[in-house]
Every structure is written in structure tokens, then in C-alpha cells.
A and B are shown apart, each in its own frame.
Chain A
Amino acid sequence: MEASQSEANPNPNPNTNNNANRNSIMSSMPLWPTIDGPLGLTEEESLRYSRRFYKFGYALLPWLWAVNCFYFWPVLRHPSSFPGIRRYVISSAIGFTVFTALLCSWALTFAIGGEDLFGPVWEKLVMYNLADRLGLTASSSSLWAKEGFHYQEAFNVTILGPPVLVLLHQRFINMRSLIQSI
């Protein structure tokens, strides 16, 4: 009990063990289900968030499942404390491992098998050839630029331009709260 309490506290402190003995009811479980500790979510919100992450992960997003497991890591470490959240986090972990295993096996088969396994289709599926043919990178012969109008440049200016400008607009440094206790 004390061990889990001292792990769950963000800054373990020899005094907390004494307090844990006194407040054993309150301190029998870690307080914060997220990895950020007191800076993260409360338990009710954590349930909503983990459920939403779990459901969205089904849209071919194993990385979201992994982030779910990472974010609610204390739930995995102290399984008895957060039963509701635990269900979703464990399912996310299982989903992530399964999906990654499948994806890795496909990618490795593709990379190692090469043309011997796939035949001429390999050349068509490999990404760098595809990028060349579609003219996605500038160094390739772009079939867009063959016409008079440079689609790539227009794309750069209209689609890429404004978001980048929006990202650039904030260029100052500030502090949230400053030396208020002095």
C-alpha cells in the first residue's frame, strides 16, 4: 500500500509515508490516472478521454491506442485502482500490439521479399517509385509541371502558405504566472 502510494505521488517524500499511514483510506490508491499526475485529468474526465481514444483508434489509428496506453500509464501500473479506465486501456494495448504486428509483418515481407516474392508489382508499390511517378517530390520529374501552369507552386502558395503563416504569427515569450509568492 505504502509502496504504491509513494510511487503514485509525483515527488516521493519521506514524510508522505507517515501521512499515508494516517490517511490510509484516502491514500490506498493513486490519485491521478494520467501520466501527468496532478497536471493531467481527473478520473471522470479520464474515463471519457480513454473511451474516446479507444473508439477513435478503430479508424486505422494504432498510434492513438499507443498514446492512450502512454497517457494512462498509471492505470496499467495499478490495475486495481481504476477499473473503468482499465478496460479501455488494456483493449487499446492489445489492439496496438495486434495491429503493429500485422503492419510490421507486412512491411517486412514487402521489404525483404522484394521482387522475388511479388514480381513486377513490387516496383509499382514501392513508395519512392510512386513518388517519382506522381511527382510528389520536387526532385523528380513532375508530371504536373509539364503543363504550363505549375500546380506544385500554386499548391504551395495557396494550400501550404496560410497555415504556415498562421503557425508563425506567434513569436513571443511569456510566463504564465510569475514570482507571485515573492
Chain B
Amino acid sequence: MAQNRRSKSILDSVGEEIIRIITPVSICMFMVVLMVCVLNTDSSDSASSSVPTIATIAYTETGSDSWWDKLKGALLNSLVFVAVITLATFLILLLFYFRCTRFLKFYMGFSAFIVLGFMGGEILLFMLEDFRIPIDCITFLVVLFNFTAVGVLAAFMSKMAIFVTQSYLVIIGVLVAYWFTLLPEWTTWMLLVALALYDLAAVLLPVGPLRLLVELAISRDEEIPALVFEARPVVVEDSVSNDNNNNTRFISTEDTELSAPLIDHRITLQLNRPEDALSSESWSLERIGLGSAGAIKLGLGDFIFYSVLVGRAAMYDLMTVYACYLAIMAGLGITLLLLALYEKALPALPVSIALGVLFYFLTRLVLEVFVVQCSLNLLMF
């Protein structure tokens, strides 16, 4: 009977859990597409000096190079970038291993500050210039300062309002993704493919830095110091546990019975709360969510690269945007399915990026011709 009740609540909540992770990803992609459409209407591929040069260190693409040169240049760029990311991840792994979590947390807050302050400010300036909005510098600085300060607090503090934290994470993802869409075209696509392949290695291979990071965090029962988007856990109430609701703030001995199975599963848990994760709040939370299947956590890098793919597709046409959006959502669904099957941290990029890139090129080369011909002959719009 209790088993039936619990399995019923799992089925109740799994759809909502998926929606709670798909909605912010979709919002992020939508905002990047919007910004790309609004801000890039005039310049096509002018390499401005705010192009993220760390990714074009090896080779700067110019419009007049041959096809083969562009390919080689893009490959070189993406290899350099993947190497730099590997270095950064290993550095973070090292710092985490030596328990410099305070420094890591501080650096996360610092990077949130940099992204929100400088990149956000720059993008706001783009918009002000494009639309000629007559804001004076004092108002602008106050607004930007407010926005950045609260964002840094949301990144630092683990106990900020969930909605505020989630919105700021999505905004950070949007800003970085927009910045990445300023890269030259071939480099972007090659970079996405290279990162998807690298992800497969980094998360699944035993020597992969991301896998080592996850295992270290699990073995120490700490959270990885990173900006991770955690969907709000679904709180499912059984009518049986009604009078428990009134006692939710008090930890009764019932706790230990219900949390005993949780202790076994803590090996596969990734506790998102900070080092005082065993505090009373999280236990009462686990108790309330009697049937909750837990919160899905998606790394911010995934948000960013999904949005980069869709943003780059938006630079061609909206038809590719629709195709790539559907492909990425399908990939995310497949990844969630695999996550439910394998119950360990999985790379979220490879399936979605593979499908996305495939659909982009198929749409651009095959579907577009078809649709244009249909429209021209008034067959289908």
C-alpha cells in the first residue's frame, strides 16, 4: 500500500521535474536568440575587438580564406580552447582536492561579478546604442551596480530565494552564450563539436577531470563549488503525512526511519547544500518530499553551449533555430532518460550537441531548399 502510494507519487512528479529543467533552458535559449536577432541586424561577420579572443588565439578567421584554411583554423582554435578548458578544470580539481573551497567560492562570486558587471554592462550598452535610449550615466551605473551586486550575492549565498538564484544563473548563461556567439562561424561549430567529444571523455573516462571532481565531491559529501542550476525539487505530499506537515520544523524520531534509505543512497547523491548539508533543514526537506525524485542539476556550461548553438543557428535563419531547439530538447530528454537509467553524473552536452549540429546542417543544406521551393510554388508556407 505504501509502496503503491510512493510509486504513484514518483510518476506524478517526474513530468514536473522535467518541465522544471526544460523551462529555464528554453528561456535561456529564447533570450539568446532574441538578443542575437536584435543586436546583430547590421553587422554580419565583422570581427570587432570585443570578440572573445581567448578562443581565437590560434587563428583569426577572415572572410577571404579558402574553405580548407577556415577548417584548419577552426580546428586549431577549438583544440586550443579545449586544452585551456582542460587546464582550468584540472586546476579547479586541484584546488578542490586541497580543500581551498573558500577560494573557489570566492572566485565563483568574482566570475559572477565579472560576467554580470562587464559583459552585462557591455551588452546593455550595445542595446542603448542600438535603440538610442537616453539614459544618463548615473542611472545606468546605479542600475548596473544593483543588478551586479544582487547577482553576486545570489551566486555566493546558497540560501537566497530560489527564484532569484535561478534567474541570475539563467542571466549569466545568456550573457556568456551571447558573448560566445560573437566568435567566427567555423570556430563556433568546431568548438561545439570538440567540446561535446571532450565531455564524453571528461565525464565518462576514469581519468576525466569532471568525473574525478564528481567522485571527490561525493566521497567527501560536499558540493562542488560551482554555479550549478538546480531545479526546484518537487514537493509531493501524501495525504497520510498530513499531520507531519505541522511538525515539519521539528526533527522527530520518525526522521531516522524515513531517512535511512536516503543514507544508503547518499553514495549516489550529490548534495547541493553546502558543508552543513546535514543540518536539520535538509533532512526535514527530504522528509516532506516523501515521493520526490530529487532535484535535477544541470551545469551552467550546458546552458551556455546549448544557447550558443541556438544563437549561432539564429544568425542564419529562424528555421534553423526551430530545428536546433527541437533537437536539443530531444537530446536533453534522452540524456535525462540515461540519467534515470545509470544514476550517475552524465555529460549533458554530447547527445544534444550532436543532434543539434546534425539538424542545423541538415536544415541548412536540405530542408531550406525544400521549404523555399514549396513556398515559391505556393505549396506550403
Report A's interface with B, CB cutoff 8 A: 9-11, 13, 15-16, 19, 23, 26-27, 31, 34-42, 45, 49, 59-64, 67, 70-71, 103, 106-107, 110-111, 114, 125-128, 130-132, 136-139, 142, 145, 150, 152-153, 156-157, 159-182
A132 proximity list for chain B (CB < 8 A): 129
Report B's interface with A, CB cutoff 8 A: 6-7, 10, 43, 48-54, 57, 84-85, 88-89, 92, 107-108, 110-112, 114-115, 118-119, 121-122, 125-126, 128-129, 132-140, 142, 145-147, 149-150, 153, 159-164, 172, 176, 179, 195, 199, 202-203, 210, 214, 224, 226-228, 230, 232-233, 235, 237, 239, 242-243, 245-249, 261-262, 265, 268-272, 280-281, 284-286, 288, 290-302, 304-305, 335-336, 339-340, 343-349
Inter-chain contact B139/A153, CB cutoff 8 Å: no
Question: Known contacts being A103-B142, A176-B271, is A167 close to B136, with CB within 8 Å?
Answer: no
Complex CA–CA separation, A156 to B268 (angstroms):
39
A110 CB to nearest B CB, Å: 5
Q: How many inter-chain contacts with C-beta < 8 Å in the A-B complex?
A: 296
Provide 10 A-B residue pairs closer than 8 Å at the C-beta atoms, listed in order of the A residue.
A128-B129, A153-B49, A164-B54, A166-B108, A166-B111, A169-B89, A169-B226, A175-B294, A176-B272, A176-B297
The winner among A26, A64, A130, A163 for most chain B CB atoms within 10 A is A163
A42 proximity list for chain B (CB < 8 A): 249, 280-281
Question: Known contacts being A10-B235, A167-B304, is A38 close to B285, with CB within 8 Å?
Answer: yes
A34 proximity list for chain B (CB < 8 A): 161
Inter-chain contact B49/A142, CB cutoff 8 Å: yes
Complex CA–CA separation, A70 to B160 (angstroms):
11
B282 CB to nearest A CB, Å: 10
A160 CB to nearest B CB, Å: 6
Question: Known contacts being A63-B146, A171-B299, is A160 close to B118, with CB within 8 Å?
Answer: yes
Closest to A144 in B: B49
Complex CA–CA separation, A166 to B133 (angstroms):
34
B270 proximity list for chain A (CB < 8 A): 174-176
Question: Known contacts being A11-B237, A63-B150, A157-B54, is A170 close to B224, with CB within 8 Å?
Answer: yes
Question: Known contacts being A173-B299, A174-B346, is A110 close to B136, with CB within 8 Å?
Answer: yes
Inter-chain contact B226/A138, CB cutoff 8 Å: no
Inter-chain contact A159/B339, CB cutoff 8 Å: no
Inter-chain contact A166/B92, CB cutoff 8 Å: yes
Inter-chain contact B10/A179, CB cutoff 8 Å: yes
A9 proximity list for chain B (CB < 8 A): 245
Complex CA–CA separation, A142 to B48 (angstroms):
11
Complex CA–CA separation, A130 to B335 (angstroms):
47
Complex CA–CA separation, A179 to B17 (angstroms):
12
Question: Known contacts being A67-B161, A130-B137, A138-B48, is A172 close to B285, with CB within 8 Å?
Answer: no
A45 CB to nearest B CB, Å: 7
Inter-chain contact A64/B146, CB cutoff 8 Å: yes
Q: A166-B88, A167-B172 are in contact. List 15 more A-B contacts (CB 8 A).
A: A39-B162, A40-B159, A63-B146, A71-B164, A127-B135, A128-B128, A150-B49, A164-B179, A165-B54, A169-B85, A170-B224, A172-B210, A175-B294, A175-B340, A182-B6
Closest to A131 in B: B125
Which 4 residue pairs of A and B lie closest in terms of their CB atoms, listed nearest first?
A163-B111, A170-B299, A177-B294, A138-B48
A126 proximity list for chain B (CB < 8 A): 134-137
Name the contact of B122 in the complex, choosing from A64, A137, A165, A172 (C-beta under 8 A): A137
A127 proximity list for chain B (CB < 8 A): 125, 128, 135-137, 140
A6 CB to nearest B CB, Å: 11
Complex CA–CA separation, A111 to B135 (angstroms):
6
B50 proximity list for chain A (CB < 8 A): 137-138, 152, 156
Name the contact of A176 in the complex, choosing from B85, B246, B294, B348 (C-beta under 8 A): B294
B243 proximity list for chain A (CB < 8 A): 19, 23
Complex CA–CA separation, A166 to B111 (angstroms):
7
Inter-chain contact A31/B249, CB cutoff 8 Å: yes
Question: Known contacts being A110-B134, A180-B265, is A38 close to B288, with CB within 8 Å?
Answer: yes
